[in-house]
Structure 1
Amino acid sequence: MPPTKPRPPAPLYEQIRQLIVAALAAGEWRPGEALPSEAALAERFHASPGTVRRALDELTAAHVVERRQGRGTFVATHTAPRDAYRFLRLVADDGASGFTRELVHCRRARATAETARALQLRTSEPVIEVRRLLLRRNRPVVLDDLWLPERHFEGLNGALIDTYAGTLYALFEERFAVHMVRAEEKLRAVAASAEAAALLAVATSEPLLSVERVAYTYGDRPVELRRGLYHTHADHYRNDLN
């Protein structure tokens, strides 16, 4: 068998991108905070400003950072109103915005084999299980089930979720220093079970849109498994393709 050829080093801009992400993961710059200037980053990483700019362009495209005209580059945050529901693509047919939330339960559980695989945990490792409803004009629209590794969310409970005014991702960011950077989703049509039908106030076996999401923080580390059932009678799933 011929010897394996060594992998060529990543381009310099990619190396810098990885170093910036590592600094974000270490908490050097918090969500909402400004990064140093391109010139300062270039000096820190011994690179040209153009190389640093390309690394920041990659991070901007991935929504890890955001550019603000005349102000600089900032760490992306889910607490900003325009980003509050960045990962929720359900849009009302009549243009209505926003949701009210109703917590069904928040409890400690053990990761099933499937949950452990999605979150890269050991089977039976402690997780926090959250079930909640999203409502629009007092009408249930989404039934969400979430599983979170307890080691990253120690102290999360129903009272904290109920009293927090913002979104769950903003709560995770502010109270647990867990920032959701990206997510992968799987969509399929399903029939409402009796339990889901009761919670969503629909008929048993009514068609629903099932959205399974794994959300990742810095370093592509999975920190949330979410299964949502969407009632799309007056809403639709929207995805902008570029």
Structure 2
Amino acid sequence: MKSSPTHPSFQPLYRQIKALLTQSLITGEWVPGAAIPSEMDLAARFGVSQGTVRKAIDELAAENIVVRRQGKGTFVATHTEEVVKLRFLRLVAADGSKELLDNRLLSCEKSKATAAIARALNIRTGSSVIEIRRLLLFSGKPLILDRIILPAALFKGVTTERIEALKGSMYRLYETQLGIRMVRAEEKLTAIGADGEVATALGLLQGTPLLSIERVSYTYGDKPMEWRLGLCLTDDHHYLNQFE
């Protein structure tokens, strides 16, 4: 674990431990929902102090990669938990009320990656991708038209039947069915007007203002795995982001 502080690739010791813990997650040593070893055991394993391990785990917890449970230990976060499964969905009712969320699959088919999608997902232009279109409904009202693109080589288990059977978060499907967990996302927000196709899907007039959310989601090791475009009606909803 020794590294010279003058070396250009030097990282603080706790960051090195964080990288080793992340590698264990990448290799599947600890699966989503499983407990990781205690700080004492990890300190012995890596030959460092418990304080160093604790600092590494603090960062992983802050990034929602692991979850601490009082009196029980530290667990790998999972998209099946209420607190985590909707962490990337930021559209909320203007009055703050809780809503029943549902989704309706419109299509799931193979296509070829455009140059822009290939750049976003770090794959070759023309590579086979799975393209999914679905509606997200809030208390029965269609508010988001989702377009999702996945590298076909990594998501072979994503089918119309499997999506409809799960009937929930796509991130939960990736995790429980394929062992792929999304740990962070980058988003770009713009304002647009609904074109004919989008207006029809959402039951709107053409040109109705929408919030466009382009998202790339990443798994462990900062590997891009999903590109998503959400076109959102925000008449009585808004995008909420909380900073800590």
TM alignment of 1:73-92, pairs within 5 A? 73-92=74-93
Task: Indicate the residue corresponding to 2:148 in structure 1.
Answer: 146
CA drift at 1:226: 0.3
- Deviation track 1:167-214 (CA, whole Å, cap 9, x = no partner) reads 111110001111000000010100001100000111100100000000
Paired with 1:240 and 1:101, the residues of 2 have a C-alpha distance of: 25
- Does the CA contact (< 8 Å) of 1:127 and 1:149 recur in 2? yes
Ranges in structure 2 where 5+ consecutive residues have no aligned partner: 1-5
Task: Indicate the residue corresponding to 2:28 in structure 1.
Answer: 27
Ranges in structure 1 where 5+ consecutive residues have no aligned partner: none
Paired with 1:231 and 1:124, the residues of 2 have a C-alpha distance of: 32
CA drift at 1:136: 1.6
Q: Which amino acid aligns with 1:193?
A: D
Task: Indicate the residue corresponding to 1:156 in structure 2.
Answer: 158
> Please, what TM-score do these two structures have when normalized by structure 1?
0.96
- Does the CA contact (< 8 Å) of 2:100 and 2:139 recur in 1? no
CA drift at 1:50: 0.3
Match of 1:103 among 94, 102, 105: 105
Paired with 1:230 and 1:220, the residues of 2 have a C-alpha distance of: 27
Q: Which amino acid aligns with 2:29?
A: E
Relative to structure 2, which stretch is displaced further, 158-167 or 66-75? 158-167
Match of 1:185 among 160, 184, 187: 187
> Please, what TM-score do these two structures have when normalized by structure 2?
0.95
Task: Indicate the residue corresponding to 1:170 in structure 2.
Answer: 172
Task: Indicate the residue corresponding to 2:43 in structure 1.
Answer: 42
Task: Indicate the residue corresponding to 2:3 in structure 1.
Answer: none
- Does the CA contact (< 8 Å) of 1:98 and 1:136 recur in 2? yes
Task: Indicate the residue corresponding to 2:201 in structure 1.
Answer: 199
Q: Which amino acid aligns with 2:233?
A: H
**Structure 2 CA distance for partners of 1:25 and 1:8, relative to 1, 3 Å:** closer
Match of 2:212 among 204, 210, 213: 210
- Does the CA contact (< 8 Å) of 1:152 and 1:178 recur in 2? no
CA drift at 1:156: 1.1
Paired with 1:146 and 1:54, the residues of 2 have a C-alpha distance of: 36
CA drift at 1:233: 1.2
- Deviation track 1:21-67 (CA, whole Å, cap 9, x = no partner) reads 11101000001110000001111111100000000001011111111
Identity across aligned pairs (percent)?
49
- Does the CA contact (< 8 Å) of 2:33 and 2:76 recur in 1? yes
TM alignment of 1:53-68, pairs within 5 A? 53-68=54-69
